[in-house]
Amino acid sequence: MHYLRFIFGLLFIVFIVLLLHIKNLPNTFRIECAIRTSVPAETLYNYIKDFENWSEWNTWIKEDSTMKLQFKNIGTENPSYSWDGKNGIGSMETISAQAPYILNQKMNFEGFKSSNIQWNIKNNSDSLKWVMEGNMNFFAKAFMVFKGSMETSIGPNYQKGLENIDRILSNRLNDYRFELKGSSIIQKQFYLYLTFQKNNSALDSIISKGSNELYAYANKNNLEVSGSIFSIVPKTTTGAVTWTLGLPIKKPHFAKDTFIKSKVMPERTVLKGVHYGPYDNINRSWEKLNTEMELLNPKLLYYPLTIYIINKKLDKDPFTWETQLLLPYK
């Protein structure tokens, strides 16, 4: 009996010491993971902000075949998804997006206080950084005592996740296709247009924003659209240059808007090619089309035309995009 009292007393002391140790652990945590990558910032940003892509790279989702996912508000400014898997129940929501290429998210996990997550994608330094920080309740601190720190239990998974993102997108960026279609004639057409200064790193968002504005103007003024969004670009594709984004309309229209104008495009002969895939490597297709033009050796009449075939898939998977490249000549 004496020994039992001693053992129970010792266990009680150990229990009290453990409770005090847990209580005195830091109430906050911060985890940071980063990698260097050659994937363009905009490609990373568009891929990461779409939660439906997370099952391709997120290690917890990939390792749990029983996990059930539910998505909400995909394609909006505040998308979210929730999960129910063998490691617990939780949810993630995008709270805000800051220019350039910063995503702020909030994660809730059963038994833990909510955590703040930030994705910081730096185009100039070619880095992708993920940061998670939050508060720890007593249960979370106790959990970490037996499972290890937040850094050791979560950090390696997200580091692996960043590496998965880099590998997936690097492979896809090399996966494009170009087809030469030969000479064709563009018929005379009326169109709405707006101009913008473009740096090569911002093409996706510019086309999306400009397209929405042109379609909204056409709808507001009851104008019948007669073709796909197109751009008129200078021969050079380096640096910040003035581009035109246009939307064909069936009948002539005098635009009174100070931002959106209207014009007529004359009939012209063009050398046509088609680029299949994201815009990040569209210059490779331009190079191939220019090589074919040099073989024809005609005098270039006007700026190159790029016609973007816009459909529902464009918002989901850039690797299914179809872009017509046209070089006018005579």
Q: Which amino acid is at 90?
A: G
Pairing assessment for the beta strands 127-135 and 177-186 based on DSSP bridges: unpaired
Round to whole Å and give the CA distance between 162 and 128: 8
Stated pTM of the model: 0.60
Tokens of 35: 């990698």
Strand partners, 67: none
pLDDT at 138: 54
Ranges of the chain whose pLDDT falls below 70 = 1-28, 99, 123-126, 135-153, 198-205, 234-241, 257, 298-303, 308-319
Q: Helical H runs in the chain?
A: 2-24, 41-48, 54-57, 59-63, 138-147, 150-173, 203-220, 282-296
Same fold, 25-173 and 177-329: no
Domain boundaries, the chain: 25-173, 177-329
Beta pairing, strands 102-109 & 115-122: antiparallel
25-173, superfamily in CATH?
Answer: START domain (3.30.530.20)
State both tokens at 257. Answer: 């808007």
DSSP letter string, 121-166: EETTTTEEEEEEEEE--HHHHHHHHHH--HHHHHHHHHHHHHHHHH
Class of domain 177-329: alpha beta
Percentages of the chain per state (helix, strand, coil), in multiples of 5: 35, 35, 25
pLDDT at site 140: 58
